[in-house]
Amino acid sequence: MHAIVLVGGFGTRLRPLTSTRPKQMLPLLDRPMIEWVVEHLARFGVDDVVLSLGYLPDAFRAAYPDGRCCGARLRYAVEPEPLDTAGAIRFAARHAGLDERFVVVNGDVIADVDLGALLALHVARGAEATIHLAEVEDPARYGVVPIDDAGRVLAFIEKPAAADAPTRWVNAGTYVLEASVLDRIPEGRRVSIERETFPALVAEGSLFAVQDDGYWIDAGTPECYVQVQLDLAARDGGREGGGAGYRHPTAVVRRGAHVERSVLMARTVVEAGAEVVGSVLLPGAVVASGARVAASVLGEGATAGPGALVLDGSLVGDGALVPPGEHRRARLGVEAPDSPSADAALGSA
């Protein structure tokens, strides 16, 4: 069984963590995000994975020099220019010579979707394409997908206003496609599968969907990058005690430090008097005495200096230093030092 994994994006929402690596190479607990995705595909019999690449493609080749990942063969299709979702799928499939049914997944989505159920409905309905739907609280960020009792998609509404959304079931980024779909995608230009290809299939009645209420998260935002790791750690039963969601065996938490619902990767250090709450420390990160990190991420080898505050979705890049006593909070995805007037609120962030 073949699959295309879309991993070509720039990961701008996770910068500066993605300044030197694709977001799918960011670690989740103890291994890169891409391995969680491929492992799930392999569980359902996918043994040939084509990575649709664009941004920093050599990072994947370097990580998997033998062309294997989680039991599956890896192949690489590097876009000459950004082609959007459908364009990327067409390019990768043609590059790999795919001429039969295949699966497509977004490389920053972690999900427990039942691919077997997706394939079963696809075959039973004689569908040209079948997609996985997940239910969300706020559908305005997604493609909203109402279906009939047979699973046939009635409309594909990309990012509607919340008040206008006819359902909270949205396109969750996993598709089963017949090779004939490739002929519908124009060559050599950007083509959105959500805005062009799927609506055309809806018009012909050949797009179906399966509603699946299993675990699903788009890990491509700061909040979700933290949340998915806490979720995975909880599902795994956590590691160690003392309130740490996950603590690598080489992580060090000094006596007098406070760690709660957080992920401490390899060689991380939390000094005495420091506090880490609801956060992720990438390998080698250090939280110095008196520093507080809450709902944020310290990059690989980064340091929160003595008395520093790193809060509210802040992302500290690899090897960076938050100077002693500096206050950082992230607002609307932009990280900036806090104003003195906000200091009183920092303790409850």
Alpha-carbon gap, residue 115 to 2, rounded angstroms: 13
* pLDDT tens track for 186-223: 998 999 999 999 999 999 999 999 999 899 999 999 99
Burial of 24 (0-12, 13-18, 19+ CB in 10 A): buried
Q: Per mean pLDDT, which range of 70-79, 136-145, 233-242 is the poorest?
A: 233-242
* pLDDT tens track for 116-137: 999 999 999 999 999 999 998 8
Count the Cβ atoms, other than its own, within 10 Å of residue 236: 12
Q: Per mean pLDDT, which range of 89-93, 155-159, 273-277, 310-314 is the poorest?
A: 155-159
List the Cα angle 73/95/48 in 5-degree steps.
20
Q: Does an H or E element contain 203, and which?
A: helix 198-204
> Which percentage of the chain shows pLDDT scores above 90?
80
Q: Per mean pLDDT, which range of 29-38, 84-93, 132-141 is the poorest?
A: 132-141
| Higher-confidence position of 8 and 280 | 280
* pLDDT tens track for 282-337: 999 999 999 999 999 999 999 999 999 999 999 999 999 999 999 998 753 334 44
Is the pLDDT at 111 greater than 70? The verdict is yes
**Half-sphere exposure in the Cβ direction for 325 (13 Å, CA):** 1
Cis peptide leading into residue 16 (ω within 30°)? yes
Q: What is the secondary structure of 137-202 as a DSSP string?
A: S-GGGSEE--B-TT-BB---EES--GGG-S-SEEEEEEEEE-GGGGGGSPSSS---IIIIIHHHHH
Alpha-carbon gap, residue 322 to 326, rounded angstroms: 6
pLDDT given for residue 236 in this prediction: 60
CA 326 to chain centre: 30
pLDDT given for residue 243 in this prediction: 46
Q: Where are the domains of the chain?
A: 2-218, 222-346
> Burial code of 285-298, b = ≥16 C-beta within 10 A, e = fewer?
bbbbbbbbbbbbbb
Alpha-carbon gap, residue 326 to 292, rounded angstroms: 11
Mean pLDDT computed over every residue of the chain: 89
* pLDDT tens track for 148-200: 999 999 998 888 887 788 899 999 999 999 999 999 999 989 999 999 999 99
Mean pLDDT of all residues in 16-27: 95
| Topology classification of domain 2-218 | Spore Coat Polysaccharide Biosynthesis Protein SpsA; Chain A (3.90.550)
Mean pLDDT of all residues in 81-105: 95
| Higher-confidence position of 86 and 239 | 86
| Residue 140 banded pLDDT, cuts 50, 70, 90 | confident
pTM of the model: 0.88
Count the Cβ atoms, other than its own, within 10 Å of residue 31: 11
pLDDT given for residue 330 in this prediction: 77
Copy the structure tokens of residue 70.
Answer: 């989680």
CATH of 222-346, one of 3.80.10, 1.10.3470, 2.160.10, 1.10.1740: 2.160.10
Alpha-carbon gap, residue 281 to 257, rounded angstroms: 15
Q: Name the one residue in this structure whose structure tokens are 């005690």.
A: 241
Q: Does an H or E element contain 216, and which?
A: strand 216-218
